[in-house]
Amino acid sequence: MNERDVEHIDYFVTHRRLSESTRRLYRHHVSALAAWCGSEGLNLTSVSSASLARYIRIERQRLAISTVRSRFDCLRLFFAWMVEQGARADNPAAKLDVEIPQRPIRQALTAEQIGLLWRAARRPGERVIVGLLGICALRPEEVCGAEVSHLGELDGRRILHIPTRGRSQPYTVLPDEVYSAIKEHLEGRDRGALVVTGSGGKAHRKHLYVVVRRLGELAGIPFSVSPRLLSYSMRAVAVERGFSFFERYSGRR
């Protein structure tokens, strides 16, 4: 990477109103291109649309789709800035026709497969994880952050309060089977983390991942099951089976 490229990158990331994390990300993306240009005998001022297209195709072979998209969007913005500054006469990314594949459609478990996971769980803690993720559709971070003190009762139903952002409903109703698994898992505890590991420590995302993946294998699920996938699946099942929030709660049938 030549000194002039370094100056362009520094000026680009420091003279824009960006958060520190975005500034680091932009610097990383543009610096990666600058390093590649250096290996090809090019620089950020002279790289052409054809060379940039070749670079993106190379990156597609080793990076996730989301990273390639983020990098391409950043480079398009960077070269537009270079044109504004008079450092380039054109933006090589402006009309670049580079095929970036779409994200694959997320695979979901069926209701029957969620049932297989539940039956594959032998320990109460495993059933709690499957129940909260797959039946109550909580997110992994919500399961890890749940405390015993978050358990409660409302209108005769057992509930779990969810003190996290982005939830229109601050609690989830616990089915009887899930609540029974929770009580068995607690073994009389009345404080601390709701879900704990075998050693008694607070459950973390890696723990959820290991448990869910192993249960998926035991249940014979033909693809890898992750906590995020399990959380997403029950919502997908509801949509697939025709659940309509509007029809259910608007009074119209």
pTM: 0.57
Same domain, 61 and 124: no
Pairwise CA distance, residues 87 & 13, whole Å: 15
What pLDDT is attached to residue 39? 93
pLDDT in tens, 34-70: 999 999 999 999 999 999 999 998 988 888 777 888 8
Mean pLDDT, residues 165-181 taken together: 84
Termini Cα distance of the chain: 65
Which SS3 state, helix, strand or coil, does residue 197 take?
Answer: coil
**In total, how many domains does the chain have?**
2
pLDDT higher than threshold 90 for residue 165: no
For the stretch 121-146, pLDDT in tens is 999 999 999 999 999 999 999 999 99
Provide the domain limits for residue 61.
3-85
Backbone angles phi, psi at 199, to 5 degrees: -90, 0
Question: Does residue 102 fall inside a structural domain?
Answer: no
The answer on 121 and 77 residing in a single domain is: no
24 and 126 assigned to the same domain: no
Task: Establish if 91 belongs to a structural domain.
Answer: no
Domain contains 97: no
Kindly state the percentage of the chain with pLDDT values over 70: 89
CATH code for the domain in which residue 243 is found: 1.10.443.10
**In-domain check, residue 99:** no
Which whole-number Å values give the CA distances from 67 to 73, 74, 151, 217, 233, in the listed order?
10, 10, 39, 29, 25
Task: Examine the domain organization and report whether 124 and 246 are in the same domain.
Answer: yes
Residue 249: its pLDDT value, please? 44
The confidence score (pLDDT) of residue 253 equals: 44
Residues 190 and 68 in one domain: no
Q: What is the pLDDT of residue 123?
A: 94
In CATH, what number is assigned to the domain containing residue 57?
Answer: 1.10.150
Mean pLDDT of 147-151: 95
Instruction: Pinpoint the alpha helices (H) of 40-64.
Output: 49-60
